[in-house]
Structure 1
Amino acid sequence: MCGIVGKINFDKNKKIDGLELKRMTDSLIHRGPDDEGQYIDGNVGLGFRRLSIIDLKSGHQPLSDITNNYWITFNGEIYNFLELKIELVKKGYKFRTNSDTEVIVNLFIEYKEKCVDYLRGMFAFVIWNFQKKELFGARDRFGIKPFHYYIDNDKFVWGSEIKSITVSDNIKKEISIEALDSYFAYGYIQREKSIFTQIKKLLPGHYFYLKPSEEKKLTIKQYWQINFEPDYSKTIEYWKDAIYQSLNESVKMRMISDVPLGAFLSGGIDSSIVVALMSQNSTNRIKTFSIGFNEEKFSELKFARQVAEMYNTEHHELIVEPESIELLPKLVKAYDEPFADSSAIPTYYVSKFAREYVTVSLSGDGGDELFAGYNSYSKMIALSKSRINNKFIFGTLNKIIPDYLYGKGLSYYLSKDKNNIGAYFCSWKDYERKKIFNSHIKSNLILYAENIKLDLLKNLHSDFISRMQQLDMQTYMVDDILTKVDRASMMNSLEARVPILDHQFAELSFKIPSEYKINGGNKKYILKETFKDILPKEVLSHKKTGFAVPLDNWFKTDLKDYIYENLNNSSYLYEFLNSKYVHKLLENHQKGVRDYGQQIWSLLFLNEWLKQNN
């Protein structure tokens, strides 16, 4: 796992400044503390920071093919690189290292942009063609690894994190109002947008070409897409066997490492399955790491312990306390833009904790999206089947009901198109965002966040629950879950691997009919059926908790003074927000009128981000 950066000046006479490139790589030292490197070809510069995982001695980057014509920087892991290397050797390719990086560069020489079709793993990389003066770049299918870029009339700049771009020279940092609205709506910034108008994300499953000498044009194309095509000809026994074999293979592939390896164990179904399969594929005890809270309803530690005991893992636990709020400035610096998922706190701590023992950790991320495990899916199904169709009446009712009363949210959902209801599951609903923004911001906001998801849903034509799953994979999973895990783990120089998001396993799941995923209200039905014999019964049956943080309680007790000190008189926040609305929200939370814990966290995070980026 590593950090990559780079810059191309469109004026070929404007040489790359090596000190500037080093400033960019230095900003990513947490992603790669073991090594660094640069390659400069006049107006083109590639930079790299390395966390050594495989081929510890000869994996230095930037790396070239044997002709020194193709130069690559690569962040990620390719799990099938050895078999790809064998095929390339048969074709006459020669290798100087044992790294997956050299396999990618030779694969590109052989297949050009089609090289990505052969890669099984997580990746973000660029390849510079010295002779053609052409840049190629790609990002993995689900966006496990990040890739950000900036382009204007003078230059193209890229990096693993936004901070590696903003430390470059002459970068415009105009705040995007649409991105801010997305942040309040969902807690994250969607799709290709970032908090800065001119900094973008390369979407998952996409590659690009850039030839600086030809009109400075960036050409982006999609090479892979999520495609739900349920196969009703197969029996449930067939699917169970296929799931077991495919996921077992994926886990086994991700256990290849030249450094110590372990697993996050939350006590939920997905991480428990991963740990069970790791144990079955290892002769050594698996190191497992769990995080909990003193507030019992938020903690799944007892279920994690059951799995740890069942497989005799080398188990480690840590309790997260309210004092964890002191981590906020560090989190803001790590995420580079507003990010309101409070589970970033325990994710950081479990990563930090694990890094004391291992360099690589497997996680269970992706299971809820692939097998419809979120509680929200049950609510969406209920709303979609509702016989109440008078959107006008419920729209009118929603305007009348005060924000803090229960029933406000239900009337809101019933006023929307139930076939696209997933777009409206928001942290701050549109009527709240119209009040939270001050008049200046509201007057400049043209496209509301829900429209981005609605546009995605227009092009999805599978059954209802598959459409909601795909929407989550293309937004929430990549822009929240995977972003959270990448930044939290990389803050601690820890590589996180996600076997459930192996694309071959995912493609198998797309063929499984929805009725096997949610069966009579039983979410992840077929996943539970597949692995019920290798997991404790309570792990399979207990109510889903997730990685929620007890913000409601913290903000009413230990952190009450903290939120008032930071939010009441912020000189930064109210350049964008309505101070009266914020003060009223804080008051209602303390009175217990409604749980505004998540909203308060989003305000605290934004306030700190504005402070750091003022």
Structure 2
Amino acid sequence: MCGICGYYNGSSGEPASQAIIEHMTQLIHHRGPDDTGYHLDGPLGLGFARLSIIDLEGGHQPMCNETGEIWLVFNGEIWNYQELRKELIEKGHRFSTSSDSETIIHAYEEYGLDCFTRLHGMFGLVLWDAPRKRLLLARDRAGKKPLYYTHVNGTLVFGSEIKALLAHPGVKREPDIQAMADFLSVRYVPGPETLFANIYKVQPGHWLLYEHDTLQENCYWDYQFGKIEQQAEEDYIQGIRAHIWRAVEERMMADVPVGAMLSGGVDSSIITGIMSKLTNQKVKTFAVGFDHPDYSELPYARLVARHFGTDHHELVVKSSDMTQYWPLLTWHRDEPVSEPSDLGVYLISRLARQYVKVVLSGEGGDELFAGYPKYVVDWIAQYYHILPRVVRDNVIQQLLDRLPYSMRKLKNTARTLSQPAPQRWMSWFGIFNGPMKNELLSKHVLSSINMDAARAFQRWLSKNPQRDDLSAMLYLDTRIWLPDNLLMKGDKMTMAASLESRIPLLDYHLMEYAASIPSHNKIKPFRAKYLLKKAFTDFLPHPILTRKKMGFNVPTGIWFRGGQRNLITQLLLSDRLCSRGYFNEEFIARMLREHLEGRTNYQAQLFTLASLELWFRIFIDSPKLEKPELSVEELLAEDQKVAVSLS
């Protein structure tokens, strides 16, 4: 796990600057504090920050082949590198290291652009083919590792994090207003866009080729949910167990200590249990909770730790931690902190880094095996449409109107059942959509954007239609929600602590296998994640299998009404936010007032707006790119000092 960056003056041919490459690399030093490397070749410059995991002595990068013609910077791990290495040696390739990185170089020499289909791993990488003057960027199938780029005046600039690109003098720091509107809808920016104008993500399972001043994109991997092959349920159960066991075993490969992130949910508990069976040593596990009992999963994590005999470590996050680290998390994210759970991931990663260098985590199980409540609710939609219109519009809607405020999520979800699928799904987990978005955004912004935030969903489905609604939801969640939000959070927050995170449940063989299981086998009436739970019924403690799904919730709504009351008020009603001209100030003030008075719960909306404002202050307003050391209170105090001095 590392950080990579660089640029190529493909149009002008102007020599790359050592100083620029060093600055770009320095900004992502946290991703790889063990070693630093550079390579300049005329108009090309490559930078590398290494976190040593495999071949600690011989894995220095940038790395080249025997002739010095093919160069690589690579962030990630290749699980099948030993098999590939053997295959390539038999074809006459000579290796000088034992690292997985060198395997990529020889695979490119042997197979050209088809080499990526042979790589089984997680990666963001850049290859420089000097004889062809060809630059190649690629990202793993699931999008576990990030890779950004921009093409400015014939120069291609790239890196593991956006801040590295911003260090290049030709890259402007400007917000993308359309991307901002999309962020307000879903709390992340669907790829390939980012919140920065003209800066893009390499899409999962894609490569980019920059040659002869032309940028070409290609999708080398995609997959289909909801195939029609039917097997016995027991066959699926055995297949799931075998794939997950293999995936965990592969990801325990390392020359450094490996631990596990343990939430106490089904997915992380399965991974922890398998790890404990594959080693004679106690697995080190790490869990995080919050200073409010209704938001803490620590009792479940402790239960799993006792069941499998792990060496367990945990911490409790407080309201003051959020205000202290919020600016720093924003800097590491490169985009607004999409969810408060980033804080928990960051702090538990810092704790874990004191004991291990690699952790396994449980992302992906819900998206492959239908674990979220929304999948069950959408299953009900097929029956809702059978009802006569008069029953739907009169009887059911009148009943919904009488539901208490405590059942608002059910009420809002049920109201959308008659909408077309992509819009229905968007409204379920959206933050600002429909009337709220119209009220929030200024007339100037509304006149310049596309209000349909579901168009990213439709774009993916138009390329790869799925067999049924559940399959479409699962497909979209693996192609957009995971890489653009959850995996981004996991990568940025763990790498902020110089910790490598591996994700067994997003092994692409497992993804393809899960996708081949028909939808009616994955979900049963009011029973989410049916097959996965059944596959490990005899393996996990019973309370873990039967507990209500909690998610990684953070008590921000409570914090905003308590110790963070003044902070959130100052931030959202600040002159600086108002001066941007993007929002309706009266609507924000009304929403804030109603939340603070306890009349409704706008914690997600308030957090999203506050996160966006902090992003503007750190990346757009400030001329510097340095890591912020101030808390939110200290940032606001600095504002007040400036205001006083100006007056």
Is the Cα–Cα contact under 8 Å of residues 342 and 598 in structure 1 kept in the other structure? Answer: no
Residue 23 of structure 1: CA displacement? 0.5
SS at match of 1:583: helix
Amino acid at match of 1:179: A
Verify the 8 A CA contact 1:573 1:606 in the aligned structure 2.
no
1:247 aligns with 2:244: yes
Identity %: 36
Residues of 1 paired with 2:103 and 2:414: CA distance?
A: 55
Which residue of the partner structure matches residue 68 of structure 1?
Answer: 68
Match of 1:278 among 271, 275, 278: 275
Give CA deviations for 1:223-245 in whole Å, capped at 9, x if unaligned. 00021143543111111111111
AA aligned to 1:314 is: D
The size of the alignment, in residue pairs, is 605
Retained in 1: the 8 A contact 2:422–2:457? no
Q: How does 1:221-232 map to 2 (within 5 A)?
A: 221-232=218-229
**Aligned residue for 2:626?**
none
Q: Where does the alignment leave 5 or more consecutive residues of structure 2 unmatched? A: 622-647
The answer to whether structure 1 residue 88 and structure 2 residue 88 are counterparts is yes
TM-score for the superposition, normalised by structure 1 = 0.95
Q: Paired residue for 2:496, among 491, 499, 511?
A: 491
Shifted more, 502-511 versus 457-466: the winner is 457-466
Aligned with 2:56: secondary structure? coil
Structure 1: gaps (5+ residues): none
CA contact (8 A) 1:71 1:129 kept: yes
> Is 1:504 aligned to residue 502 of structure 2?
no
Aligned residue type for 1:42: G
In the TM superposition, what is the alpha-carbon distance from 1:548 to its structure 2 partner?
0.8
Q: CA deviation at 1:331?
A: 0.8
The equivalent of 1:289 in structure 2 is 286
| Residue 448 (structure 1) aligned to one of 439, 452, 458 | 452
The change in CA–CA distance for 1:193 and 1:89 in structure 2 (over 3 A counts) is same
Is the partner of 2:57 in helix, strand or coil? coil
Is 1:561 aligned to 2:566, yes or no? yes
Query: Quick one: distance in 2 between partners of 1:410 and 1:275?
Result: 34
For the Cα contact (< 8 Å) 2:423–2:454, is it kept in 1? Answer: no
Q: Deviations along 1:245-289, whole A, 9 cap, x unmatched?
A: 111011001001111110000000000000000011111110000
Aligned residue in 1 for 2:637 = none
Question: 1-side partners of 2:585 and 2:14: how far apart?
Answer: 47
Matched-pair contact (CA < 8 Å) for 1:486–1:496: yes
In the alignment, structure 1 residue 529 sits paired with structure 2 residue 534: yes
The one-character-per-residue Cα deviations of 1:346-385 (angstroms, maximum 9, x if unpaired) are 1111111111111000000000000010122122222343
- The 5 Å alignment of 1:444-483 reads 444-458=448-462, 459-483=464-488
Q: Retained in 2: the 8 A contact 1:273–1:531?
A: yes
- Alignment-derived partner of residue 27 in structure 1: 27
Q: Give runs of aligned pairs for residues 578-589 of structure 1, distance below 5 A.
A: 578-589=584-595
RMSD: 2.0
The structure-2 alpha-carbon separation of the partners of 1:339 and 1:453, relative to structure 1 and needing over 3 Å to count, comes to farther
Distance 2:120 2:230 in 1: 28
* Correspondence for 1:543 among 538, 548, 552: 548
C-alpha distance 138-51 of structure 1, shift in aligned 2 (>3 A): same
Equivalent-residue separation in structure 2 for 1:390 and 1:440 (angstroms): 39
The residue type paired with residue 38 of structure 1 is Y
Looking at structure 2, the residues matched to 19 and 143 of structure 1 have their Cα atoms a distance apart, in angstroms, of 30
1:14 counterpart letter in structure 2 = E
Question: C-alpha deviations, 1:445-499, integer Å up to 9, x for none?
Answer: 1353122223333442312111111111111111110000000000000000000
Structure 2 counterpart of 1:424, one-letter code: S
User: Which amino acid in 2 is paired with 1:591?
Assistant: E
Q: Is the 8 A contact 2:4 2:49 kept in 1?
A: yes
C-alpha deviation, 1:318, in angstroms: 0.6
Match of 2:611 among 581, 605, 608: 605
1:11 Cα shift?
3.8
Contact 2:533 2:545 in 1 (8 A): yes
Q: Residues of 2 paired with 1:448 and 1:542: CA distance?
A: 36
Aligned partner letter, 1:257: A
Distance between the aligned counterparts of 2:345 and 2:526, measured in 1? 29
Whether the aligned pair in 2 keeps the contact of 1:183 and 1:339 (CA below 8 Å) is no
Contact 1:12–1:42 (Cα < 8 Å) also in 2: no
2: CA distance between counterparts of 1:189 and 1:114?
29
- 2:119 aligns to what? 119
CA 1:524 to 1:95, structure 2 compared with 1: closer, same or farther past 3 Å?
A: same
Secondary structure at the aligned position of 1:3 is classed as strand
**Structure 1 residue 389: Cα displacement:** 7.9
For 2:590, the aligned partner's letter is K
Aligned counterpart for 1:298 among listed residues 291, 295, 299: 295
Q: Is the 8 A contact 1:139 1:204 kept in 2?
A: yes
1:424 aligns to 2:427 (yes or no): yes
| Partners of 2:314 and 2:575 in 1: CA distance | 37
1:164–1:318 CA distance, 2 compared to 1 (3 A): same
Shift of 1:127: 0.8
Q: Look up the match of 2:641.
A: none
Deviation at 1:315, TM superposition (A): 0.3
Residue 573 of structure 1 contacts residue 607 of structure 1 at CA under 8 Å; is this kept in 2? no
Letter in structure 2 aligned against 1:372: A
Q: Is the 8 A contact 1:31 1:490 kept in 2?
A: yes
TM-score normalised over the length of structure 2? 0.90
Q: Are 2:95 and 2:102, in contact at CA under 8 Å, matched by a contact in 1?
A: yes
Letter in 2 for 1:355: R
Report the CA distance between 1:410 and its aligned residue: 4.5
Q: Secondary structure of the residue that 1:385 maps to in structure 2?
A: helix
Indicate if the aligned counterparts of 1:21 and 1:45 stay in contact, CA closer than 8 A.
yes
Match of residue 346, structure 2, among 336, 341, 348: 348
Give the corresponding residue for 2:195: 195
In structure 2, do the counterparts of structure 1 residues 383 and 78 end up closer, same or farther at CA, with 3 Å as the change threshold? same
- Per-residue deviation at 1:419? 6.7
Q: How has the CA–CA distance of structure 1 residues 408 and 374 changed in structure 2, closer, same or farther, with 3 Å as cutoff? A: closer
